[in-house]
């Protein structure tokens, strides 16, 4: 059974990509030889750089437009052949700035088809196959769902999300089992995080199944009063939901990974407090996924 973890927050610059990549790498290390897949739905494609990969034109949009197969688009994240870390069971599904253009086109097609169908009789709609027209959420799910049910598919799927999921939000929240929501110290960041986790709860009322797994304070400096005050606020809000697992201390090495050829904190500072914190979070992931 595949467990899907979405890493998201409507606030940008809070460590979503770093968290998604780091957890994907660490989980792959712990469950080898079972597979882990990291899906990028952020048009900036920063996850590829964090992994030291060149997607070479691959993009999730190709699946949405039915221009390519899964095998054409999903790539290995193993860097051993180039002298990098060995990750033989980690795979990556890239995104680019073509993704939201594809989503816009699909949405426009849905609207146009419905306008045509509304001018037909029920018998005509059925005869032409227009009696049931999938909306954008259904189309995205139709593309993503086979990744969970493919024989010998991934044990875990992580999703690296942009600040705004836009029209993909309900599809992601229906596809994913759990959400991890990173947040940096700051009143605005916390307010937007509360708003985001409230939206997750609201989507549950409309057919989504994704539950909040963890709120993850990142780039924390415990010696600063502002940061300790924010941690206290987060505890008040999220400890009743058992969503505060750990926090990630500020560590320059975390941001250095892409410049070091796609290394993550476990590759070059495995004994650091930041690596230990991400390891704690990875254990929570493995616990809900049954390892």
Asked if 265 and 251 touch (Cβ cutoff 8 Å), the reply is: yes
Residue 155 DSSP code: S
Q: For 46-95, what is each residue's pLDDT tens digit?
A: 999 999 999 999 999 999 989 999 999 999 999 988 888 899 999 999 99
- Residue 210 CA to residue 171 CA, distance in Å, equals 10
**pLDDT higher than 90, residue 158:** yes
Q: For 200-251, what is each residue's pLDDT tens digit?
A: 999 998 889 999 999 999 988 888 888 888 888 888 888 878 888 888 988 7
Asked if 87 and 79 touch (Cβ cutoff 8 Å), the reply is: yes
Q: pTM of the entire structure?
A: 0.91
Asked if 3 and 288 touch (Cβ cutoff 8 Å), the reply is: yes
Q: For 21-39, what is each residue's pLDDT tens digit?
A: 999 999 999 999 999 999 9
Exposure letters 92-111 (e unless 16+ CB within 10 A, then b): bbbbbebbbebbeebeeebe
**pLDDT higher than 50, residue 133:** no
Instruction: Note the pLDDT of residue 121.
Output: 73
Would you tell me which CATH number, out of the four given (3.40.1160.10, 1.10.357.10, 3.40.50.300, 3.40.718.10), belongs to the domain 3-289? Answer: 3.40.50.300
């Amino acid at each position: 059974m595949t467990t899907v973890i979405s890493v998201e927050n409507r606030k940008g610059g809070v460590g979503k990509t770093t968290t998604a990549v780091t957890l994907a790498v660490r989980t792959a290390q712990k469950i080898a030889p079972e597979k882990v897949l990291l899906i990028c739905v952020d048009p900036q494609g920063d996850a590829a750089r964090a992994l030291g990969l060149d997607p070479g034109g691959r993009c999730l949009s190709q699946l949405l437009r039915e221009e390519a197969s899964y095998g054409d688009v999903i790539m290995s994240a193993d860097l051993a052949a180039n002298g990098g870390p060995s990750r033989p069971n980690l795979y990556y599904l890239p995104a680019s700035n073509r993704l939201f253009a594809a989503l816009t086109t699909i949405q426009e097609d849905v609207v146009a088809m419905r306008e045509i169908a509304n001018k037909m009789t029920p018998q005509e709609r059925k005869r032409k196959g227009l009696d049931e027209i999938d909306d954008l959420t259904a189309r995205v799910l139709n593309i993503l769902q086979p990744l969970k049910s493919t024989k010998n598919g991934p044990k875990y799927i992580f999703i690296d999300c942009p600040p705004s999921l836009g029209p993909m939000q309900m599809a992601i929240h229906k596809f994913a089992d759990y959400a991890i929501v990173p947040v940096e110290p700051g009143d605005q960041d916390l307010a937007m995080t509360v708003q985001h986790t409230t939206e997750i709860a609201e989507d549950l009322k409309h057919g989504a199944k994704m539950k909040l797994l963890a709120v993850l304070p990142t780039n924390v400096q415990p010696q600063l009063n502002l940061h300790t005050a924010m941690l206290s606020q987060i505890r008040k809000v999220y400890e009743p939901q058992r969503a505060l697992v750990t926090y990630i201390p500020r560590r320059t090495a975390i941001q250095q990974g892409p410049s070091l050829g796609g290394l993550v904190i476990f590759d070059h500072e495995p004994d650091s407090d930041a690596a230990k914190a991400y390891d704690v979070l990875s254990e929570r992931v493995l616990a809900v996924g049954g390892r």
